[in-house]
Amino acid sequence: MSMMLVLIAIVVCNCIGDDIISVVDGGEEASWNIVTPVDTTTPPASQTTSTDTTGTDTGAVTTTFTSAGDSSSDDDISNTTFTRLVTVTYASGGATVTGYNAVADVMNVVVSGNQVTITYTGSENVAYKLTGTASDGFFKLYSSKKQAIWLSGVSLTNSAGAAINNQSGKRTFVYVEGTNKLADGASAAYSTSSDEDMKGVIFSEGQLIFSGSGSLSVTANNKQGKSGIVSDDYVRMMASPTVTVTAGSSAGHGVKGNDYIQLSNGTLNISTAAAMKKGITSDDYVLVEGGVTTIQVTGGVAYDSDDSEYKGSAGIKADNYFAMTGGTVTITNSGNGGKGISAGSYDYDSTTHAVADSYISGGTLKITTSGSESNDVSCKGIKIGWVTKSGNKVTGYAGNMTVSGGSIVINCAKSEGFEAKGNLTFKGGETYVYSTGDDAINCQAEMNVTGGYVYAYSTANDAMDANHDLKISGGYVFAITTKGSPEVAIDANTEERYKLYITGGVVVAYGGLESGYSASQSVYTMSCTGGSWNALHNGSSYIAAFKAPSGISSVAVSAPSLKNGYKGVSVGSTTYCNVVWATSGISGGSSVSLSTYSGGGSGPGGGPGGGPGWH
């Protein structure tokens, strides 16, 4: 008696053009050209299903997902083939789970209402597809293999704790399709057995890698300090879901990654409201490569009983270092003691206390802080590193920072704008810092400007302040303080025998240069027009143009081959540093003469000059 085997190919995604579907059964492969209607949407995944005539193994589905944007990385979901599909459908009458019956010997599924717990000990890579709605459920997973959690129009709230609790220590891909919502409850106790963690609405012992084209909202309503998204390994955002995380006033951080957090693509929106908590936090480093990230923090200062000290909030906190090579990050922190970015903790290395260098080489970073100091916890736009003191004497410090590219705009109402506890180097990019509370830019060690555009404006202290030498050998520097004596626009620690050195670059300053400075190029005073564009000229062409703030009528200037200045010039469409510098398209204006700057230095010249506020 012969038996006929029927092969059924099921295509469960909308495709564009012609797709080749391969069905494998019994070691034989057949291929068909499947012509499908043109669809303007990008298919989230391609699936090929192979079944036998009895149809008993509905989970024998091979799923490959579209690339997450980094095909060379194991973090790209397209590099993993999932050979089993388990679907969890939540509903008011309880959850149903399909796709596992044929492997029930290695996959134990326990369903109680909408509470689903799966324990998997098999060898296949499994995709778990979650869909439907439940206000009283969760998805909990134990597994020894990497897997995908496929969020496909699921709305899931767990009033007692995590909505998704992944106890697997393996790589977990979170693929986001359609509109998805995950939340805990205001009374969630997050009770666990003694050997398990459950630290957030989405919690994973292993890596969490987000991709897809849908949206996901995660809401932490709890009063236990539990966060929105937490991995005890690392968290990576890839192409290109929209993920929104909201953590309430008694909840925890927005996103926490133990090993690191890597933002490569996608849109990430975070709002945190609890004291001490962070929008993004890592026990090691945070790397921003791409995507669009917006963080809003409102929490203030509270006492940390574990560390026996008061702590404030931050938009981004990295215990080791912060790095940015691309993307856009916008941080607003209104909390007292709140920071935009804080990196480099004394306790990161308990033996040497060393931290790696932080850096920004690309991307767009915007930070606004408006809180006040509280319990000796100060606000800052960017704070890198740590310092220890015995009385007023510094006994140790660490935390170098280099800016070589990108665009940085920092506005701080009641604090320092940009501080590094180690060396601070500007090699490129555009850095704009405005502070009405303290120094605009400050470093504990040496500050170097070798390139790029720097604008530092303080109404309350020095514009640029280094506790060691401050060296300008290139780039474009515009420093302003309106505080008056003894504060200056550009300050080095002469009390400890350090100096300001000007050996190159273009320098414009209002408020004075540090007494005893050394310059190998001439420093002059020129009149300027506040609120308008002014320029420096070498006798044959414009060197650069700068836009002076309103109320400023005289500045100190220095540039190679500088011959005279111009007021009231026009500039083209290309400007730098939040529209305060231009180096091309400069025209017009009226020439103004230069006089030798007389404000306390050891550079060339020494005749009359100066102006209001100079010393």
Q: What is the DSSP string of 173-228?
A: EEEEESEEEEEE-TT------TT----EEEEESS-EEEEESSEEEEEE--SS--EE
Position 490 pLDDT exceeds 70: yes
pTM of the model: 0.90
Look at residue 112 and tell me if it is in a domain.
Answer: no
Q: Are 404 and 361 in contact (CB under 8 A)?
A: yes
Q: 195: pLDDT confidence band, cut at 50, 70 and 90?
A: confident
CA distance 304 to 319: 16
- Give the whole-angstrom CA distance, residue 113 versus residue 308: 43
| Residue spans of alpha helices (H) in 69-175 | none
What digits encode the pLDDT tens for the residues 362-410?
999 999 999 999 999 999 999 999 999 999 899 999 999 999 999 999 9
User: Residue 392: what pLDDT?
Assistant: 87
Say which residue the tokens 């995944």 belong to: 45
- Both ends of the chain: CA-CA distance in Å? 107
Look at 178-187, 565-574, 606-615 and tell me which has the smallest mean pLDDT: 606-615
Number of domains in the chain: 1
Quick one: what percent of the chain has pLDDT higher than 70? Answer: 88
Cβ 260 vs Cβ 288: under 8 Å: no
Buried b (16+ CB within 10 A) or exposed e, 407-436: bbbbbbebbbbbbbbbbbbbbbbbbbbbbb
Q: Is residue 538 part of a domain?
A: yes
Question: Among residues of the chain, what percentage have pLDDT more than 90?
Answer: 86
Cα 369 from Cα 78, distance rounded (Å): 40
pLDDT at 114: 98
Query: Torsion over CA of 346, 350, 354 and 355, rounded to 10 degrees?
Result: -70
543 within domain boundaries: yes
In 3-state terms the chain splits into helix, strand, coil percentages (rounded to 5) of 0, 50, 45
Predicted pLDDT at 192: 87
Q: Which of 335, 417, 421 is nearest to 375 (CA)?
A: 335
Residue in this structure with the two tokens 């999932």, named with its chain if needed = 82
Q: Is the pLDDT of residue 31 over 80?
A: no
Is 555 within a domain?
Answer: yes
**Residue 401: its pLDDT value, please?**
98
Q: Distance between CA 58 and CA 51 in Å, rounded?
A: 7
Q: Taking the CA of residue 587 as centre, how many other CA atoms within 13 Å lie in the half-sphere pointing to its CB? A: 3
| Residue 304: pLDDT over 50 | yes
Assigned domain for 608 exists? yes
Hey, is 9 helix, strand or coil? coil
Nearest Cα to 269, choosing from 248, 243, 249?
243
What's the confidence (pLDDT) of residue 45?
66
Does residue 521 sit within a domain?
Answer: yes
Place of tokens 């236990």: 224
pLDDT in tens, 332-373: 999 999 999 999 999 999 999 999 999 999 999 999 999 999
Residue 145 has pLDDT above 80, yes or no: yes
Contacting residues for 331 by C-beta, under 8 A, at least 6 apart: 279, 295, 296, 297, 315, 316, 340, 341, 365, 366, 367, 368
CB atoms within 10 A of CB 201: 33
Mean pLDDT of the chain: 90
Closest to 607 measured CA to CA, from 591, 593, 594, 596: 596
Q: Which of 373, 369, 378, 446 is nearest to 409 (CA)?
A: 369
Can you give the pLDDT at residue 215? 98
Q: How confident is the model at residue 476 (pLDDT cuts 50, 70, 90)?
A: very high
The 3-state DSSP class for residue 76 equals coil
Has residue 482 been placed in a domain? Answer: yes
Q: Phi-psi bin for 531: left (phi > 0), alpha (psi -120 to 50), beta?
A: left
**Which residues sit opposite 584 in a β-bridge?**
none
- pLDDT band of 48, cuts 50, 70, 90: low
Model confidence band, residue 46 (pLDDT cutoffs 50, 70, 90): low
Is residue 10's pLDDT more than 80? no
Q: Which residues contact 376 (CB under 8 A, 6 or more apart)?
A: 310
The Cβ-side half-sphere exposure at 40, using a 13 Å CA radius, reads 0
Q: Tell me, yes or no, whether 557 lies in a domain.
A: yes
Confidence of residue 20 (pLDDT cuts 50, 70, 90): very low
Q: Which range marks the domain in which residue 584 is found?
A: 464-615
